[in-house]
Amino acid sequence: MFIVDETTKEYRFGDNGPKYLMQGPRMNFAVVQFMPGSDFAAHYHEVMEENFYILEGTVDIYVDSVKHTLVKGQFIHIEPGEVHYIVNTSAAPVKMTACLAPYRPSDKIEVDRG
């Protein structure tokens, strides 16, 4: 058992990107913030499934080239092998949680958005 205080962690890219509260051994969990115009490279995972829950704002998540616009209170589950791309096209920050399992530190394959 352990407890993590989010305020002791930092977003990967200063004011945006993932803020990992746990990485492994069986899953990872992060709070993710995207400022207006921010995106995350298109990629897929061979083993990990990925889940996002929107806490604040509106975000576009493309899964296998299909656009899904999610808002506060919505959840999306992405299966291994599904190419996903995330972008904040709104004028406000987006905050969401992200969970990947089973955790594999090298299970991210970046691809062209097509």
Q: State the average pLDDT over residues 61-65.
A: 96
Q: Which CATH architecture has domain 8-103?
A: Sandwich (2.60)
Locate 13 and state its tokens.
């890219």
| Contact residues for 113 (Cβ-Cβ < 8 A; gap 6+) | 42, 62, 65, 85
pLDDT digits (tens, 9 = 90+) for 6-53: 999 999 999 999 999 999 999 999 999 999 999 988 999 999 999 999
The mean pLDDT value of the chain amounts to 95
Domain edges within the chain: 8-103
Q: How far is CA 73 from the centre of its chain?
A: 15
pTM of the model: 0.93
